[in-house]
Structure 1
Amino acid sequence: MEAVNVIIGIIMILSFFGMIWYCVKGYNLMIGFFVMAIFWTVLALVGNLFVPNAAMAKFSFVGVLENVFQEGPQNYGKSILVNIFFGAFFGRVLMTSGIASTLIRKTVELGGDKPRFTMSLLCIMTSIIFTSMTGIGPVISIAVIVIPILLSLGLPASITLFAFMGSIMSGIFANIVNFKQYQAMFVAADSKYASYTYNEYFNFGIICMVVALVVVLVVANIALNTKKVSHAWAATTTNRGATENNAPAISWISVILPVIGVVVFKLPIILGFLLSSAFALVTCKKLKGSFVEICSMLAKLFAEGAVDVAPMVGFLLMLSMFNNAANFAAPYFQTLLGGFIPTSAIVIAIAFAILTPLGFFRGPLNLVGCGAAILAVVLSSPANFPIAFLYPLFAVTTIAPQHLDITQSWVAWGFGYTKVATKDYMKMSIPTGWVIGMICCIIAYFMYGGLVG
């Protein structure tokens, strides 16, 4: 009867490759993961008829369906979606108050007409901004400021798009909302992982943020050595920015206030977003008018933020179904792959480093992709790796490839906006994601490998 588990495991692995093909073709990911959740649940239920599935031991037939299609989205909504909505609200505040655009303009003024220097400064500022902001709306709002500036300085479109998307990726390493999103996937596998906090991860996140930004800038500058830079439009951008109204300097700290609130003052993340939003609005003198007008403005900002992340929310709810289905699929992956999971900290760190490219195209090392099943297998490993070590590894192989990937919504938008060919972008993005993954996985070993014992 063991053959049944092997056959089902092979079918599930083949479906992995089918999902990767689906992602590369650019089809709708929300529908794709919903279909995968159904497919894996059905396969697991069929397998359970022949060989008892340990993951289904305490569930009835209806209980399995409830766990995947009801409890998955329900628990995910409780644990992460509220953070996403308030993070999106904060992003709208930064845009409406003019803080984000002011920081970009000041950065350009500091860089002057030196393309490489200005590109580096803009990437640093973009990275800092996206330690708090999230969603395709804020990305596009910053992109339509930054990308034309870089293009006007004479940078080739492919390098401009790569540098901008790479700077967002580096900021995501320290992004609080993304931390909560990935942590929720560990919690879905076992509630004991809920005790792992952003504060425990913070030092590693900041180090990886710096590493990622440095690698992106090195690759962009090397690419520039092979391209001709034109300075024809440099003056236009600078002069245009000078006519804009700037947010007061005291308000600029709003960008990192949520992180400071959580790390230094141990504030709940939602309260951190609300207090930071209030500080930004007050210092920018946006709370003007009657009480009714102010309430209307705040409601509008929250509604706009919700619209910004609506596609992401739909995708994440379907992904949560897939995550729960992966828990029932894990025994079949364990049958095929369990013997290949390393039990040594250094070996698994090296394996993640070498296999980082499997995080591209929503692959098996990407938590916001097919990685949920692999996560379940690794968590059930006899090595019993602590989350303080495993989370950084999975964060690296998710963040570095995912936010440079052509399946990422805002990267796909960027291709249409800049008219860059995907192959020109991928020549830089895939090697960069791999290098960042290798460096950060080794850093994870040196920081947390000693916890494995």
Structure 2
Amino acid sequence: MVNVVIGIIMLLSFFGMIYYCVKGYNLMVGFFVISVFWVILALIGNAISPSEAMKDQSVINVLTNVFQTGPENYGKSILVNVFFGAFFGRVLMDTGIASTLIRKVTELGGDKPHITMSLLCIVTTVIFTSMTGIGPVISIAVIVLPIMLSLGIAAPIALFAFMGSIMAGIFSNIVNFKQYQAMFATVKEEYASYSFNTYFNFSIIASIVALVVVLIVANVCLGKSKTSRAWAAAAPGSACTDNAPAISWISVILPVLLVVLFNCPIILAFIVSALYALLTCGKLKGGFVEICRMLAKQFADGAVDVAPMVGFLLTLSMFNNAANYAAPYFKTLFGGVIPTSALLLCVVFAILTPLGFFRGPMNLVGCGTAILAVVAATANWPIMFLYPLFAVTTVAPQHLDITQSWVAWGFGYTKVNPKDYMKMSIPTGWIIGAILCATVYFMYGGLVH
């Protein structure tokens, strides 16, 4: 009875956290508060009826695991990748490689809105398999969006197509992979062995499916919309206007190639790719001291690009560990209704994909960690099956969501009404989720016993 009561209280606070996220309040503070609340409830519950999750642990051990070990492990396994990924993104911007690729596809598409929009989306997807953070997104957006708008593409469609193409790239983004992998590692230690190379086969399919669906929706909406040419196609004055040499363009996907083809460590892959980009663009000139100053500035600028998400990620790690102590109480409420067959679990995830929007219960970078802990406890799910499933309900909704920082920035930049954007984003996220959940089942459902 005690477990049921505590489980209900946790569930109510869980929905309260979802409401908090939807309202757009500070996520760092929100996740810290709910972590504290869940730990207190779990400690009270353990004092009344001992919990398996707290077996042989003192109060100090529990508090240390949530508020110290969690952020430490997250910093060790995730933040270093985030910072070096952001450094590489800053190099792509400063060398002009990213802007050159965008200008080239614009020239190729000419004044044909459907073709140019599609080509810009393809390039954006490729770029964001490596780049990350709101800084790089804005730097690319202020080039891509004016071009789309100048071609008469309605602002809601242009914003949706751009954000959707980023989402497609994130499915194959190494930094995001490591971020989600760390969440799985907090649930079961053996999940930590899951590698990007193993995930890569699914990630490429997911990126292609997501991009195709986004382009179909955007082009259908474009065909029905009225033409508007209120914007000029000029890129901002701060953007690099010199074309980067063609030999440097491979830098965009070089980190992924190094990791997948040569098992190169992720951080080293970013460093090698950045140095290759700088070398082929003629930026490693001016003497040793000047080069060192440039590299330090690019790393610092990259750190600034991702700074807003660092505090959030650290408090999210607290929530991840707190969710492990909360899992027994959620299992008491829902353990009997969570499917134990691969087919049924994929069907449930496909149906519930929209709950990944607004940082909801299907979103790992939101409230989904608690659901992950419960699902992982119901059966011996292989990580090759479970990780892609949660990646689908996290990546597709989150990166089309109005709570995503760069989507919120896009509303202000393009003056788009969020409701006009959501008419496209939510159905698209659901369609992508349904297709990819089916893909997960056909690729990995046979591994479930």
* Paired letter, 1:180: K
Of 114, 136, 143, the residue aligned with 2:112 is 114
SS at match of 1:37: helix
Cα 1:242–1:161, aligned 2, differ >3 Å: closer, same or farther?
closer
C-alpha separation in 2, matches of 1:449 and 1:225? 39
1:139-218 equivalences in 2 (<5 Å):
139-218=137-216
Q: Distance in 2 between matches of 1:59 and 1:134?
A: 38
Q: Give the one of 265, 268, 285 matched to 2:265.
A: 268
Question: Does 1:282 find its partner at 2:279?
Answer: yes
SS at match of 1:285: coil
Residues 257/243 of structure 1: CA separation in 2 closer, same or farther (3 Å cut): closer
Residue 75 (structure 1) aligned with residue 77 (structure 2): no
Q: Tell me by how many angstroms 1:58 deviates.
A: 2.4
Alignment of 1:229-244 (within 5 A): 229-230=227-228, 236-237=233-234, 244=241
**Pairing 1:319–2:328 present:** no
1:30 aligned partner, one-letter code: M
Residues 37-436 of structure 1 mapped to structure 2, 5 A cutoff = 37-230=35-228, 236-237=233-234, 244-381=241-378, 383-436=379-432
| Number of residue-to-residue matches in the alignment | 449
1:191 deviation in Å?
A: 1.5
The letter for the 2-side match of 1:365 is M
C-alpha contact (below 8 Å) 1:105/1:241 kept by paired residues: no
Identity of aligned residues (%): 74
Q: TM-score, normalised by structure 1?
A: 0.97
Per-residue deviation, 1:244: 2.5
Is 2:161–2:214's contact at 8 Å kept on the other side of the alignment? yes
Q: Is the 8 A contact 2:146 2:231 kept in 1?
A: no
Instruction: Indicate conservation of the 8 Å contact 2:197/2:260, yes or no.
Output: yes
Deviation at 1:230, TM superposition (A): 3.6
Note the C-alpha offset of 1:233: 6.1
Deviations 1:142-184 (A, max 9, x none): 0111111111111111111100000000000000110000000
Between the aligned partners of 1:338 and 1:310, the Cα distance in structure 2 is 38
CA–CA distance in structure 1, aligned partners of residues 307 and 186 of structure 2: 22
- Structure 2 spans left out of the alignment, 5+ residues: none
Distance, in Å, in 2 between the alignment partners of 1:47 and 1:113 is 65
CA deviations 1:75-124 (Å, max 9, x no partner) are: 01111110000000000000000000001110100110001110000000
Q: In structure 2, what is the Cα distance between the partners aligned to 1:371 and 1:58?
A: 27
The letter for the 2-side match of 1:441 is C
- AA matched with 1:425: Y
**Deviation larger for 7-16 or 320-329:** 7-16
Are the counterparts in 2 of residues 16 and 363 from structure 1 also a CA contact under 8 Å?
Answer: no
One-letter code of the match for 1:302? F
CA shift for structure 1 position 271: 0.5
Give yes or no for contact 2:149–2:230 (8 Å, CA) kept in 1: no
* 3-state SS, counterpart of residue 355 of structure 1: helix
Q: Using the TM superposition, give the Cα deviation of residue 65 of structure 1 relative to its aligned residue in structure 2, in angstroms.
A: 0.5
CA distance in 1: counterparts of 2:239 and 2:161, whole angstroms: 24
- Contact 1:415/1:421 (8 A) holds in 2: yes
Distance 1:319 1:7 in 2: 25
| 1:351 aligned partner, one-letter code | V
Preserved contact between residue 357 and residue 401 of structure 2 (Cα < 8 Å):
yes
Structure 2 CA distance for aligned equivalents of residues 424 and 29 of structure 1:
25
Secondary structure in structure 2 of the residue aligned to 1:340: coil
Mind listing any 5+ residue stretches in structure 1 that lack a counterpart?
Answer: none
Q: Secondary structure at the match of 2:446?
A: helix
Cα deviation 1:367-389 (Å, max 9, x = unaligned): 001011110111111x3110000
- Give the Å deviation of 1:222: 1.5
Q: Distance in 2 between matches of 1:25 and 1:241?
A: 34
Paired with 2:76 and 2:109, the residues of 1 have a C-alpha distance of: 44
The one-letter code sitting in structure 1 at the alignment partner of 2:344 is V
Matched AA of 1:219 = V
Residues of 2 paired with 1:194 and 1:188: CA distance? 8
Write the deviation string for residues 270-289 of structure 1: whole angstroms up to 9, x where unpaired.
01000000000000000110
Q: Is contact 2:149-2:229 (8 Å) kept?
A: no
